[in-house]
Amino acid sequence: MFTVDNFYKSKEWINLIEILKLERVKDDGILYCEHCKQPVVKKYDCIGHHKEELTEANVNNYNVSLNKDNIQLIHFKCHNKIHERFGFLKQRVYIVYGSPCSNKNDWVNSVAYQDDLIIDIDKIWQCICNSSLTNKPNRLKANVFGVRDCLIDQVKCRIGMWRQAFIIGGYPLTSDRERLANLLGAKLIYIDSTKEECLSKATNDELKSYVNEWWDTYTPPY
């Protein structure tokens, strides 16, 4: 038996969305958002949306939850617009993870609203000390991670009036990101740039070493 929250993490849902992506590619080889009609450029920017809202009462009715005709493939931002239009107030949490230099921040900035909560460890470093992305004093680690953990605890307890929370990090280990996702009731979004793409964006040798270290550690989802 599914609940609404665990349904979206189920193999049945994930496999169906992958099938729909293949089936709905047009003759030009492009998948188009079924809301705004613009191309879906990145895999992680595609959301499966139920035209008939999924509820605890119908989530186990597969004529609703797994009915291809009830599902649209749309951009992440279009999905937000639809739910805002319908007046949904449920706070949603996303863990956005991937290699250094994979443009995690750029994607979050493109989909987040002004009153969404963004927790980014790199920005916390820059806010509380005179550091750069590659110069993070060990003496301040406890302070930086304390600020991050305090904010994550606020997300866990749903403190504040934010609608969406984005937690940005590397999270290369499946066990770490799954544990955090379960703790927060969050959806995982993998920014799937290739190792070569990330290395090409690294501006110095230290950043390149971070990229290589991440890929050496990374474990794909189960």
Assign 171 a pLDDT band (cuts: 50, 70, 90).
very high
| Integer Cα distance of 132 and 139 in angstroms | 15
**pTM greater than the 0.85 cutoff:** no
CA angle 184, 185, 187 (to 5 degrees): 105
Q: Is 15 left (phi over 0), alpha (psi -120 to 50) or beta?
A: alpha
Q: Is the model's pLDDT at 2 over the cut of 60?
A: yes
Length of the chain: 222
Q: Which of 2, 193, 209, 206 is nearest to 98 (CA)?
A: 193
Region 141-153 average pLDDT = 95
Distant-in-sequence, close-in-space partners of 206: CB < 8 Å, separation ≥ 6: 134
Tell me how far CA of residue 165 lies from CA of 44, 81, 146, 201, in angstroms: 17, 16, 18, 26
